[in-house]
Amino acid sequence: MTHVHTDTPSSTPTNASAPDAEHTHVHTDVGAAEPPRFTRDMLDWLPWLDPVAEADLTPAQLDGLVDKARAKNAYFRLLARDPQILRERTKTDIDIFYNAKSGLPRAERELAATATSRFNGCIYCASVHARFAAHFSKRVDDVDRLLDEGVDAAQDERWAAIVEASVALARTPSRFGVEHVTRLRSSGLDDLEIQDVIQGASFFNWANRLMLSLGEPSEQEQ
């Protein structure tokens, strides 16, 4: 795979502790196999900027990863150039999707993230959260219809309300309003569940834009 390297002072991280901060490169991948469609398949992600090499991660950067297994992932090693922000981002992500004490079932938290990612065009994020949504809900056909046909695809009333609210939050400017809360509540969601829809969709509305600005999805090499 060919890389074009351009030294760009504008890409230098503001965090002075970031390793190699003066030598960040911008990559343009030529010939990368970009996924042709939305999918639940496992995908790779190719960064346009140099991630920190796994062996060069500092203690602060490892702490910022929260989960040390994420050191294998180029995306998180790239975000590790600002470890404090990465730590807060990751803790927020984990709490939204893994805090099962109350609120929305995990499948529908993942549905909100999938719908947002589908609307925003983030193929990589949609693939990850569609897999989780299908796994936890066992509603593979419904998840695949969302991926294949888009956010207007037919769903039952509860899922349609979640998708509609998630997309309204993702629009620019936001279209989310009291009518979405009313529909969610009439579909059987309580206040904590509605809060989870808002948190999952809002977080991924931001996360999609971050990922889309830093690299591109790619089919995994066989």
Would you give the DSSP letter of residue 9?
Answer: G
If we measure between CA atoms, which residue out of 105, 129, 103 comes closest to residue 115? 129
| pLDDT at res. 220 | 82
pLDDT at 29: 53
16 or 186: which leads in pLDDT: 186
For residue 142, the tally of other CB atoms under 10 A from its CB is: 17
Position 102 scores a pLDDT of 84
User: What are φ and ψ of residue 32, in 5° steps?
Assistant: -65, 140
> Is CATH 1.20.1290.10 the right assignment for the domain spanning 102-211?
yes
The 3-state secondary structure of 153-213 reads: CCCCHHHHHHHHHHHHHHCCCCCCCHHHHHHHHHCCCCHHHHHHHHHHHHHHHHHHHHHHH
pTM for the full predicted model: 0.83
What are the residue ranges of CATH 1.20.1290.10 in the chain? 102-211
If you ran DSSP here, which 8-state letter would residue 30 be given? E
